[in-house]
Amino acid sequence: MLVRTQVLFKNSQRQQAEELALLQGVSISEIHRRIFDDGIKIQKKALSKNTKKKMSGAEFMLQQAKKAVAGPGDSEYDKYAYDF
């Protein structure tokens, strides 16, 4: 089902759409629908690449485990910081 709507285009955009319509032998409206459909696909693909997936609790814990640091060692600082 098609829905009537009003969209404002730049003059150059209108001219380019008319040229494409003539070359392909379809209406200007059909050209706009095709361009719009292609644009939607491109935008969705770009968004899916930039959208980060929400991390589960287990994934978060694994990520934090990779950042773990070693405990007390044999440095001069460790003797004062950890020995009571």
Q: How far is CA 22 from the centre of its chain?
A: 35
5-25: average pLDDT: 95
Contact 21, 30 (CB under 8 A): yes
For residue 73, the model assigns a pLDDT of 67
For residue 23, the model assigns a pLDDT of 96
Rg of the chain, C-alpha, whole Å: 30
For residue 15, the model assigns a pLDDT of 96
2-19: average pLDDT: 94
| CA distances (Å), origin 24, targets 13, 28, 34, 56 | 16, 10, 12, 50
- The model's pTM is 0.56
42-71: average pLDDT: 83
